Structure 1
């Protein structure tokens, strides 16, 4: 049984990356309210680890007006139903120029299920062939660099890495004994 009944749903904003809707709801008690929901396609995040080092990317993030380090990640807006493994391999090559011979699935997490439908698949990548990057226009200025795992952990602890998805993906893989 649903705890909440949707009475009405209105799209209040939409572009090629997201839809924002406002839902009028009724709770089990009969009380009415609203929820704002951001609909975005699921994405992937990749932990590319080689010889005790992790490959990170840094790009300008407009919403917070900063260049920040994070794990390679992304979605294909033109193909939102792409196979997550294919998407992970594609994003890894686009952003870092790495082609992984081994892609191990770590798990699925939601980004922020309090207001968004978006989730992400996590992959641990290894055994690389190095090629050139293939950046999209939105990734202008993106750079890739390798850090030792101890440097990466220190960057998390110091707050230099602020991307919750990157921290979570690493933590889940480490807790599962994959790192």
Structure 2
């Protein structure tokens, strides 16, 4: 049974049967697919310091965004990199995907490493985005993860996947 449908997600409640035979009611959130991209520079990475209203604060994160209908992950990655970080990638390397919180959602975020960056004339943040783009050195990102400054899961995954330079 559908509980809610919005622009970027829908929520359903349904009876499920677990592999051990137990039946239960479950609420599952179904967002559109998403991507996250780690733009690699000569000295480190382009990261965003972005205000996130759901947590009521600025957080450090990799550029990311939701897939449009009919768009594949690599197209979304190219578009979001330009929209959020103002750069285009000469080379986008797929780095797998993650499930964000599989206890209640089937959200999948496709991960990409972006190299051979060039400034883009198409840079245009969405009106509801409050973003600063920062070039952060590799050493600084390591320290920022360790001290909790970077606490965004998709970004930590990307730094782990792509952090070897």
> Is 1:82 equivalent to 2:71 in the alignment?
yes
> Is 1:135 equivalent to 2:129 in the alignment?
no
Structure 1 gaps of 5+ residues are 1-9
* Closer/same/farther in 2, CA of residues 89 and 24 from structure 1, 3 Å limit: same
Structure-2 residue corresponding to 1:62: 53
* Closer/same/farther in 2, CA of residues 29 and 118 from structure 1, 3 Å limit: closer
- What's the Cα RMSD here? 1.6
State the TM-score, normalized to the length of structure 1: 0.85
Structure-2 residue corresponding to 1:6: none
Structure 2 gaps of 5+ residues are none
How many pairs does the alignment contain? Answer: 164
Q: Which residue of 154, 160, 163 maps to 1:165?
A: 154
Runs of 4+ in 1 over 6 A off after TM superposition: none
Structure with higher Rg: it is 1
Partner Cα distance (1:85, 1:28) in 2: 34
* Closer/same/farther in 2, CA of residues 108 and 29 from structure 1, 3 Å limit: closer
Partner Cα distance (2:141, 2:61) in 1: 10
Structure-1 residue corresponding to 2:13: 22
Structure-2 residue corresponding to 1:40: 31
* Closer/same/farther in 2, CA of residues 167 and 27 from structure 1, 3 Å limit: closer
Aligned 8 A contact 1:42 1:80 in 2:
no
